[in-house]
Structure 1
Amino acid sequence: MAAPQGLRATEARVWIARTPGLSAAALAAALARAGGDAAAVTALPQAALAECGLADAAIAHLGRPDPDRIAADRAWLEADPARGLVLFGETAYPPLLAAIPDPPPALWLHGEATLLAAPQIAIVGSRNPTPGGRENAAAFARALVGAGLAVTSGLALGIDGAAHRGALAAGGATVAVCGTGLDRVYPASHRELAREIARRGLLVSEFPPGTPPRPHHFPRRNRIIAGLALGTLVVEAAARSGSLITARLAAEQGREVFAVPGSIHNPLARGCHALIRQGAKLVEEAADILEELGPLWAAAAAPQPPAADRPGTPTGRDPAYARLLAALADGPAGIDLLVERTGLTPEEVSSMLLVLELEGQVSSAPGGLYARRHGQEA
């Protein structure tokens, strides 16, 4: 294969972001092979790309850049200074999302990009809620943004829309994760809401401009909603719903799951009751959520000092954190191995790793591994 010539950094980044079947792990490996240069990734030999874990379709895509498609993506990005693109491994990529098992290799943005790394709470639920459920979503959103959290949801009808609107009404920040390209709005009835979020919050999608709504996009969107947030609140949900998928993903990612109880006669309370039986925290007011988030929220919300000024362990040099850092002394390790080394529970290890990552003491890597940052001592 002749290496493609002439792709500049922005052109290479948008073309990489459109690569079919590209995983974050493969992208990280390719960027490492190319010295962190996106343009150099598009010029790597096929054999090198294959060694990085790229599938044949992805390799073929990188080897045949489409100038018209690249120009269209650049035009979309450059039409508004609030639009952007972040690749996995770049500084602006949100650390909490990077820690999930299948992080998106690219995020297209429209709005305030710094919200990616803001402490967030996801609020999700039924597309056809009761009036009470809709008001509960808005009320929780208003209270939580008042406490300093951004509210994240999926721009869907019902609970999602109520949560976004509640956050905006309180003058707070909201993040909408979309199942389409950001040049499209789904559902169309949320066009004005999407415009307001782009102006005062942030729209996010892993799908490039021009991507229409497809059924399989929305479960993938749900993992990003859960992955960006410290915890997920389910307000109303039927026994089988996409909201329960988001809650399951949040639990699998080691995040907190909260559920609002309801009447036993309300079918939209059944999903929440099932979550509570499975260990989700029953909440009646925002304070219940803030209390449970505890050190995760505090670590995410607090401004971080330079790495050289950070203490060796967080939260008052808690011995459990010191034990966890010591367990990472021999190199990267997964949660199961850290549980074995420390005697802590998987839930404790997952929660503590998030705190350590937010404080800059550990970093996550593809494959579910964690490592101590250079210069951090137990």
Structure 2
Amino acid sequence: MSVNDPTLDWLSLSLVPGLGLGGAWRLLARFNEPSAVFSSPPRLLQEVEGIKQSQLKGLLSGKNYHVEGRKELKRLQDFGAHIICYQSPLYPPLLKQLVDPPLVLFVLGDPAKLSQAAVAIVGSRAATAYGRRTAFHLAENLASYALSVVSGLALGIDTEAHRGALQGKGDTVAVLGCGLDIVYPRQNRQLFAEIVKRGAVVSEYLLGTRPEGFRFPARNRIIAGLSAGVVVVEAARKSGSLITAQIALDIGRDVFAVPGQVDSFKSEGAHWLLQQGAKLVMSAADIGEEYGLSPMVKNIMNIPGQESNVDLEPDALALLQIIEPYAQTKEDLILQSGMFPARVSELLLLLELEGVIEMLPGDQVRKI
């Protein structure tokens, strides 16, 4: 790091206790850069409009935060992280449009991935099979439009979005609500490593920061800030995904939603967004068309349930044709198909393994 590199000043300012992002940006609006904040006399700091005395307590304590900043800088560098301050040319331009952009970003992988054209895919952690498959195929096919996929590495929709992007040989960015040295959830260790290798993992939190609940809404603003648009696949009416969508709207980004079953509470949030004017998405082509992009390869698939099933045997195809998206009992299928019960059970197992139906409690089944 060169003598003129401002990274240490930005990192040190972020370490001042009690100041917060709001306080930091009010000071920067007056003094332009962190070095000027640190060198300004108390009288001038106290004159800044909107700053509370409690926010200035850390700055006025006389403590040299550059000492702590150097320690954190070394820890991050030893860990292999890139440290990108707001003033860096690597800082994503779109992220600067947030009201409260991070002062510093910490990145594992390729920092340049943060500035690529991207779409966020978000949704429920406890997603249905339909939601998971939809997120995977959307992300997989967005790669053919040269669109990176941004998400939060959570279970469910986030996981499938990252996996789909990697499967499609595209780029993906995972935004964390904890330090880079903590893989959360633990089940995604392998996925985390793959994203570091082929994309980027980013956080605004120092090493060792635990994934506490209050950090995830802040994480969601970065997901929205890095993206040209946000796609909500499955989400309840009150959920973090709708917070992300609202942030996207607030900063002038596009909001897309994937329809689900009308009686599914897991799609209530997506359906509400559609009622409010969100763009309906059935395939990656809908998103590509919105941005005037053409696919680099043909045969972009629609969402699950619309793919061809020509490889299934005739009896399996015949049974699949009478299975509806809504729950049906196995007994009804036996009556409608005219097949023996053992044969129906055998075919249902085959169809479930193919991923075209979902077995439900109470010996029920539905098409997905």
* Cα pair 1:236 1:269 within 8 Å, conserved: yes
Q: Distance in 1 between matches of 2:285 and 2:274?
A: 18
| Deviation for aligned residue 1:223 | 1.2
1:85 aligns with 2:83: yes
Name the CA shift for 1:194/1:90 in 2 (closer, same or farther; >3 Å): same
1:49 matched to 2:55? The reply is no
TM superposition shift of 1:101: 2.3
Question: How many pairs were matched up?
Answer: 286
Kept after mapping to 1: 8 A contact 2:124/2:157: yes
1:57-88 deviations in whole A, cap 9, x for unaligned?
Answer: 5544344135774354123322255x222233
SS of the residue 1:144 aligns to = helix
TM-score (norm 1): 0.69
Say if 1:29 and 1:52, in contact at 8 Å, map to a contact too.
Answer: no
Which secondary structure does the structure 1 equivalent of 2:39 belong to? coil
Aligned to 1:76: 75
Relative to the length of structure 2, the TM-score reads 0.71
Alignment partner of 1:203: what SS? strand
3-state DSSP of counterpart to 1:162 = helix
Q: Which residue of 2 aligns with 1:162?
A: 160
- Alpha-carbon deviation of 1:90? 3.5
Rate the CA distance shift 1:45–1:7 in 2: closer, same or farther, 3 A: farther
CA distance in 2 between partners of 1:44 and 1:115 (Å): 36
Distance in structure 1 (CA, Å) of the matches to 2:153 and 2:73: 25
Cα distance between partner residues in 1 of 2:169 and 2:47: 49
Paired AA for residue 13 in structure 2: I
1:164-198, CA deviations, whole angstroms, 9 ceiling, x for partnerless residues?
A: 11111222111111111212122222222222212
CA shift for structure 1 position 8: 8.5
**Do the aligned residues in 2 keep the contact of 1:128 with 1:157 (CA within 8 Å)?**
yes
| CA deviation profile, 1:9-42 (whole Å, cap 9, x unmatched) | 554333223234133633533662xxx5x55543
Q: Does 1:17 align with 2:14?
A: yes
Q: What secondary structure is seen at the aligned counterpart in 2 of 1:79? A: helix
Which structure is larger by alpha-carbon Rg, 1 or 2?
A: 2
- Change in Cα spacing, 1:143 to 1:73, as seen in structure 2 (3 Å) is same
Deviation at 1:278, TM superposition (A): 0.6
The CA distance in 1 between the partners of 2:31 and 2:170, in whole Å, is: 36
| 2:215 alignment partner in structure 1 | 217
Cα distance change, pair 121–90 in 1 and its aligned pair in 2 (3 A):
same
Q: Distance in 1 between matches of 2:98 and 2:14?
A: 19
More deviation, 187-196/121-130:
187-196
Q: Which moved more, 1:44-53 or 1:173-182?
A: 44-53
- Which residue identity lines up with residue 157 of structure 1 in the other structure? L
Instruction: Give yes or no for contact 1:8–1:39 (8 Å, CA) kept in 2.
Output: no
Report the equivalent of 1:189.
187
1:307-342 per-residue CA deviation (whole Å, 9 max, x = no partner) reads xxxxxxxxxxxxxxxxxxxxxxxxxxxxxxxxxxxx
Structure 1 pair 87–61 and aligned structure 2 pair: CA distance change class (3 A): farther
Rounded to whole Å, the distance in 2 between the matches of 1:278 and 1:74 is 45
**For 2:178, which of 155, 177, 180 is the aligned residue?**
180
1:248 equivalent in structure 2: 246
Q: For residues 127 and 282 of structure 1, what CA distance do their matches in structure 2 show?
A: 21
For 1:180 and 1:115, the matched residues in 2 are separated by: 20
Structure 2, unaligned runs of 5 or more: 295-368
| Aligned pairs for 1:1-378 within 5 A | 9-19=6-16, 20-23=19-22, 25-26=25-26, 28-29=28-29, 32=32, 36=33, 38-39=34-35, 41-51=37-47, 55-62=52-59, 63-65=62-64, 69-81=68-80, 83-294=81-292
Opposite residue 26 of structure 1, the aligned amino acid is R
- Partner secondary structure for residue 218 of structure 1: helix
Deviation string, structure 1 residues 126-168 (Cα, Å, up to 9, x no partner) = 0011112111101111111221111000111100011011111
C-alpha separation in 2, matches of 1:118 and 1:51: 40
Q: CA deviation at 1:49?
A: 3.4
- Aligned residues of 1:123 and 1:233 also touching (Cα < 8 A): yes
The answer (yes or no) to whether the contact 2:121–2:232 under 8 Å persists in 1 is yes
Shift of 1:51: 4.3
Q: Which amino acid aligns with 1:204?
A: V
- Which one-letter code corresponds to 2:29 in the other structure? A
Q: Let me know the Cα RMSD of the aligned residues.
A: 2.6
Instruction: Give the secondary structure class of the aligned counterpart of 2:131.
Output: helix
Over 3 Å counting, the alpha-carbon distance change for 1:165 and 1:55 in structure 2 is farther
